[in-house]
Structure 1
Amino acid sequence: MKALGIKQIKTNPGQLSLLLKQNEFLLITQQEQPLGMIIPFSSHLIEQGLVHWLALKAFESGDLTLGQLAKALNKTKSEMLDTLDKLSISIADYDLAEDLDTIETLMKL
């Protein structure tokens, strides 16, 4: 795996595409701190589940609904709920402390 700094990419963007064409995985850094990775596109990565992983991450971040996720992964909503449970991915995002504060406030009224 090669590492490229943001400055290197800005001054020589062709280096990025050249390394990707050579099937290199790239670690992108800023001031020597890792920021992320860039991977070359290949059908092998898709076959190995990259699309599934990306869809699950999009669901976790709130960019996909349960229905959209199920459709993207060719599952029913029920099957998707089972999969999310097996992967320990929460289907509800709420703050219990905030809810308890709200209940406490309502009880004071």
Structure 2
Amino acid sequence: MEMFGIIDLRERSGDFSRIAEAGKLAIITKRDTPLMVGIPFTRELLEQGVGINLAIHLFKNQLATLAKAARIADKPLLEFIQILGAMGTQV
């Protein structure tokens, strides 16, 4: 996951695009405070929605625990585990 200052976006827009094309998330900050998350636009994002897609990404990349990812997805833990299982993701 990369971090960009809001001002960096003008000068590093190519880097930002390459990160998205690689399927990685980016955090945009303003005065070192997180402002927004850049999420690659994928078929999964459309099918699953932002919350679930973000939660899955964070869990798969070991950036969030299973319980925290379930909370981000706004799903009960068991349901989130079932979603991961349906995708073939090991818990």
Greater relative contact order structure (CA < 8 Å, 6+ sep): 2
Higher Cα radius of gyration: 1
